[in-house]
Amino acid sequence: MAICTVYTTPSLNSTCSISTTSKTQLGFHQKQVVFYSSGKKTSKRGSNTTSPYVITCSTTVGDSKTVVIGLAADSGCGKSTFMRRLTSVFGGAAEPPKGGNPDSNTLISDTTTVICLDDYHSLDRTGRKQKGVTALDPRANDFDLMYEQVKAIKDGIPVEKPIYNHVTGLLDPPELIKPPKILVIEGLHPMFDSRVRDLLDFSIYLDISNEVKFAWKIQRDMAERGHSLESIKASIEARKPDFDAYIDPQKQYADAVIEVLPTQLIPDDNEGKILRVRLIMKEGVEFFNPVYLFDEGSTVSWIPCGRKLTCSYPGIKFYYGPDTYFGHEVSVLEMDGQFDRLDELIYVESHLSNISTKFYGEVTQQMLKHADFPGSSNGTGLFQTIVGLKIRDLYEQLISTKAKTPVEATKA
Amino acid sequence: QVRPVSAAPEKITEKVAESIKEAQETCADDPASGECVAAWDGVEELSAAASHARDKKKGSDPLEEFCKDNMETDECRTYED
């Protein structure tokens, strides 16, 4: 569907034909064509010299604007796993831009483009060392450029985005980012700057507790040459003040927070293998209806293990209930423990409501598709998948409401 | 024309080890200084990059890799119907 608005200043009796290509290709969003009819063609009044026709066309009104999603988390906290689950919900694999910088942090799929906010570092690794600031420090980041470029993409304008090279620690030459249907900005500060925050249609914060973060980093780094328990600890400790000052406060702005905590099923567990994961969903967010268990608004504690679900020690426990989070009303869904057999997840899925699936068993199917990803047997994978489906639902609702009001959409 | 190749995991591993040594030296003088904190932040950044590089390498199937460039060979041909 192509909708065109034609504005004419003093009507002329000249004919002009407008052909619109109805391509719905990514990057082709809005075209402005200006026709000038030369005043030499004798008009009756003869007073007009030039008279412009301004024709604004947008192919499929919903396409004219990109939906922007923000994902905040510390480094090494599973952002990339979440991103892979999210892009999988929209179909198609996300891959780095073809033929570009091999160290590019961008991932592109048919519908989604994921950009890493590290690309907006204003200081490279050496610069930060000289100034004595971490990457978490706002002084090491260029929020003006971040705002301008995210806004441009949201308005359908391609941008030349810098690339921060994580291997060399240098800022590489920029790459071209075309406006996708869905733009995901992931990194340390997607909700830090209020201008960028206002551009987000949905925001997520991955909140990993200190105990679990430590356990995860040991798993990640212990095999690495040079690393020891002391160096991992030192690195976490050194970054903590900046993390608490600049990253952690962003969670109050998130529409959904995924909290990862040590299990309560085993007393004094420090292994970080069994997790208690909480999905905190803000109430009253447009196009986002929180998931619930059995009865919306009640407080429910549920142990599904028994005849229908095989659980070994320590079992699985769900919790659902209303709560307040930084003064906001929220709904909390919690899962403690892990699945032994992923296909039995269907039993849990069938008791959850408002999960925005398109068919019965979609959550289970998505989880089975990526059974090898970290977190697939516990609440992190389950809730990440559910958030992915909620984002798809939000995207579809946003698009359909825009299509209903084409005039406003084109004017905006 | 030679396509650029992203840094091999082995190379990043070396850099991680180097950065840890550097951070320990920087912090020996003044453990609470900005430089010390920035040095450990650099360690974290490189460790994350190393882990991403390892994941990428681990995930790749040798046959899949081969087939990317050799679609027409017997072992790679697939027909939709």
| CB-CB contact of A265 with A336 (8 Å) | yes
**Other beta carbons within 10 Å of A230:** 10
Q: What is the three-class DSSP state of A256?
A: strand
DSSP secondary structure string, A22-47?
----TT--EEEEEEEE-TTS--SS--
Distance from the B8 Cα atom to the nearest Cα atom in chain A, whole angstroms: 10
| SS3 sequence of A233-273 | HHHHHHHHHHHHHHHHHHHHHCCEEEEEEECCCCCCCCCCC
Contact A244, A251 (CB under 8 A): no
Q: Which tokens belong to A168?
A: 């060399």
Distance from CA of A82 to the nearest CA of B (A): 14
Chain B residues in contact with A226 (beta carbon < 8 A): 16-18, 20-21
Among A333, A332, A331, A359, residue whose Cα is nearest residue A346? A359
Q: What pLDDT sits at residue A405?
A: 64
Number of C-alpha atoms within 13 angstroms, CB side, residue A172?
A: 17
Provide the pLDDT for residue A58: 43
Question: What pLDDT does residue A45 have?
Answer: 47
Q: Spell out which residues of chain A touch residue B22, defining contact as CB-CB under 8 Å.
A: none
pLDDT tens for each residue of chain A, 412 residues long: 455 544 444 444 444 444 444 444 444 444 444 444 444 444 444 444 444 554 544 444 444 689 999 999 887 666 778 888 888 888 778 888 888 888 888 888 888 999 999 999 999 988 988 888 999 999 999 999 999 999 999 999 999 999 999 888 899 999 999 999 999 999 999 999 999 999 999 999 999 998 888 888 888 888 777 778 888 888 888 889 999 999 999 999 999 999 999 998 888 776 777 899 999 999 999 899 999 999 999 999 999 887 777 778 888 899 999 999 999 999 999 999 888 877 678 888 989 999 999 999 899 988 888 888 888 888 899 999 999 999 999 999 988 887 776 555 455 4
Give the length of chain A: 412
ipTM confidence score: 0.77
Question: Residues for chain B: how many in total?
Answer: 81
B18–A235 C-beta distance less than 8 A: no
Q: Structure pTM?
A: 0.79
Buried b (16+ CB within 10 A) or exposed e, A203-227: bbbbbbeeebbbbbbbebbeebebb
Nearest Cα of chain B lies from the Cα of A309 at a distance, in angstroms, of 31
- What pLDDT is stored for residue A343 in this prediction? 65
Q: In B, residues 17-36, which contact A (CB 8 Å cutoff)?
A: 17-18, 20-21, 23-24, 27, 33-36
Taking the Cβ of residue B9 and every Cβ of chain A, the question of whether any pair is shorter than 8 Å is answered with no
- Tens-place pLDDT, residues B36-51: 888 888 888 888 888 8
